[in-house]
């Protein structure tokens, strides 16, 4: 169904690129995002479960996206939902940073209608692309009344995940995503039957910054065996207003990093401690350069949020000029199970 024919309830498909839109310009070459949203939609090869209006946002591999690009996607979602005939929104997106964009949308989403992210692991011109099936199922979820009031979702290989806590957990496997701490939100069959779990009570959304409202720098620094403060100092010299520290274990660093973190927080830089471990909470427990020393140095534990989504939350809060005490409160609330 074309855009001009849409007069009733429908789903909006926002196309942003990614593997689902990618092809190789020449045989054996590297694939790049190239298909328009209409081409991605047509590639499904089967009728959609709901009428669909397609909107192109941009065509990029998600490894190229900036936080500003992600804010632009949020704005286009809000624009789409201004139409009362829209049942829900599907966003086709690259898998590399889908967890970041989906989480930013979840932080700012203030509508009962669902927003569903999906994409692909195999390019559109591969021998067996998975994008068409993922998109077919995502449209079924976005248009389903069962997905209403379930917030922002990620639908991939038949599984539906909440945006909070979701992460890409395999580089090439078709079922590429997991959510070890927050779990799944439901399932969608190949025939479009949607089953949803009961949703936990939501947290009030945060405002979406206006375009050009300022872009405070937030850097991600890793703790690792033998790590010193060189990279941290470089980030601070580069003007970082926030730092996400990817700690080890329960959120630990070492004797050299902790004093430097204390100096940074004393200078007004907001530091959040996450972990490289796949599941479980950041728990300040150890001294001698560990997580308890980081907390004493002024670092904020991220709870269950991993570095990718911690960076998104901190970037948003700094754009909103949120005081540090309030940032700590928000991380404490959003970093735990509902």
Structure tokens at 198: 């009961």
Pairing relationship of beta strands 194-196 and 159-162 according to DSSP bridges: unpaired
Pairing relationship of beta strands 186-188 and 194-196 according to DSSP bridges: antiparallel
Q: Which among 206, 256, 215, 200 has a CA at the least distance from the CA of 233? A: 256
Half-sphere exposure of 162 (CA within 13 A, CB side): 25
Q: Token pair 């209409």 is at which residue?
A: 38
Specify whether the CB–CB gap between 301 and 329 falls below 8 A.
Answer: no
Please state, in angstroms and rounded to a whole number, the distance separating the CA atoms of residues 10 and 83.
10
- Find the catalytic residue in 19, 101, 108, 136: 19
Catalytic status, residue 19: yes
**Which contiguous run of DSSP H or E holds residue 247?**
strand 242-247
Please state, in angstroms and rounded to a whole number, the distance separating the CA atoms of residues 21 and 125.
9
Specify whether the CB–CB gap between 17 and 61 falls below 8 A.
Answer: yes
Per-residue exposure over 205-238, b if at least 16 CB sit within 10 Å of its own CB, e if not: ebebbeeeeeebebbbbebeeebebeebeebbee
Specify whether the CB–CB gap between 173 and 201 falls below 8 A.
Answer: no
Q: Which among 56, 80, 79, 60 has a CA at the least distance from the CA of 69? A: 60
Helix boundaries (H) for the chain: 37-42, 67-80, 98-108, 131-142, 230-237, 257-266, 291-296, 307-319, 324-334
Please state, in angstroms and rounded to a whole number, the distance separating the CA atoms of residues 221 and 235.
8
The helix/strand count (H/E) of the chain reads as 9, 16
- Other beta carbons within 10 Å of 287: 12
Catalytic residue positions? 19
């Amino acid at each position: 169904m074309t855009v001009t024919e849409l007069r009733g309830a429908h789903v909006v498909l926002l196309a942003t690129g990614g593997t689902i839109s990618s092809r190789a310009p020449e045989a054996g070459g590297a694939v790049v995002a190239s298909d328009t949203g209409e081409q991605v939609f047509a590639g499904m090869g089967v009728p959609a479960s709901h009428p669909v209006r397609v909107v192109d946002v941009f065509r990029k591999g998600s490894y190229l996206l900036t936080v500003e690009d992600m804010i632009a996607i949020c704005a286009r979602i809000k624009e789409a939902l201004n139409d009362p005939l829209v049942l829900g929104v599907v966003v086709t997106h690259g898998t590399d940073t889908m967890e970041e964009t989906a989480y930013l949308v979840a932080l700012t989403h203030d509508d009962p209608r669902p927003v569903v992210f999906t994409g692909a692991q195999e390019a559109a011109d591969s021998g067996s692309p998975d994008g068409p099936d993922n998109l077919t199922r995502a449209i079924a979820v976005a248009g389903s009344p069962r997905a209403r009031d379930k917030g922002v979702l990620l639908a991939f290989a038949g599984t539906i995940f909440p945006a909070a806590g979701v992460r890409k957990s395999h580089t090439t496997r078709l079922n590429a995503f997991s959510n070890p701490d927050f779990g799944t939100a439901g399932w969608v069959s190949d025939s479009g039957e949607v089953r949803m779990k009961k949703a936990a009570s939501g947290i009030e959304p945060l405002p979406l910054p206006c375009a050009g409202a300022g872009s405070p720098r937030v850097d991600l620094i890793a703790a690792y065996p033998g790590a010193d403060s060189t990279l941290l100092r470089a980030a601070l010299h580069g003007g970082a207003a926030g730092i996400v520290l990817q700690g080890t274990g329960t959120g630990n660093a070492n004797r050299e990093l902790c004093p430097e973190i204390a100096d940074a927080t004393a200078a007004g830089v907001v530091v959040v401690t996450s972990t490289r471990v796949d599941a479980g909470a950041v728990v300040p427990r150890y001294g001698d350069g560990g997580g308890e020393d980081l907390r004493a140095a002024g670092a904020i534990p991220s709870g269950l949020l991993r570095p990718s989504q911690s960076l998104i939350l901190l970037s948003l809060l700094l754009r909103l000029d949120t005081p540090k005490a309030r940032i700590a409160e928000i991380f404490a609330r959003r970093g735990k199970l509902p």
